[in-house]
Amino acid sequence: MSVEERPKLIVALDVETLQEAERLVKILYPTVQMFKIGSQLYTACGPQAVQMAGRAGAKVFLDLKFHDIPNTVGNAVLSCTSLSCVVDSLDPGFGKEIKKAVAYPVFMMTIHTVGGQEMMRFAVNAAAERAKELGIIRPKIVGVTVLTSDEQAENTQKKVVAMAISAKQAGLDGVVCSVQEAMAVRQTCGKDFIIVTPGIRPQGLDKGDQKRVATSKAAMEAGSDFLVVGRPIVAAADPLKAAQGFLLG
């Protein structure tokens, strides 16, 4: 598998404080260029967490798993699409002169597929509407299927594939699912449908609270587009070395 074909690494900043998140970003960027900000960090720090990563030059996968009535989810997506920060940028018209520019770090976010097709359509339309107003690329919207902390059941794959089909019909860009379901989703929903895979662990590492885990190699073979890795990197003695291991597959 070529470098271009490998899934992209997203490091989960599942930490308690903005200071700890910023420390990790400084260590890992630009080797790691995408970071997940989820409920823990966003509840503690709010938009500051997104802005911190954006100022560093990184992209943000905002994993807040929205699930509410369609209008509420649509409004939440509008707000997430609008999250911005001021960054230093080279002015192409003046050689190496630095100027200030506005960046919109959120490139992808999550909603729950169990919210139904109307809710999912509201989310996609809201992101498209706000992105058009701002003149930016619309952030990807991916649907959460079955959490990787759930035990594998006999019908899990069938359930995840049905959720993926519903998400695609509603206009979502892809889904979040475990490696165990990724290949079936890929075969059903096509090569352009995004598959985000959490629960990635090196061989032999403790699963923690995750139940359906897999190695990065297995995720590559299953057709995942993005690998979300948290504790194996952020809790490592050398986070950069740990991240490099995942990037090399």
Active site residues: 65
Residue type, 195: I
Closest C-alpha among 43, 9, 135, 39 to residue 81: 135
Please state, in angstroms and rounded to a whole number, the distance separating the CA atoms of residues 100 and 20: 26
Q: Residue 219 corresponds to which tokens in the numbers above?
A: 């995720």
What's phi and psi for 88, nearest 5 deg?
-80, 140
Q: Helix, strand or coil for residue 142?
A: strand
**Where does the chain have alpha helices with state H?**
18-28, 39-45, 47-56, 70-82, 117-134, 156-170, 179-189, 216-222, 231-234, 239-247
Residues 219 and 178 sit within 8 Å (Cβ to Cβ): no
Please state, in angstroms and rounded to a whole number, the distance separating the CA atoms of residues 82 and 206: 38
Lookup result for tokens 């498209």? 128
Is the N-terminal amide bond of 70 cis, ω within 30° of 0? no
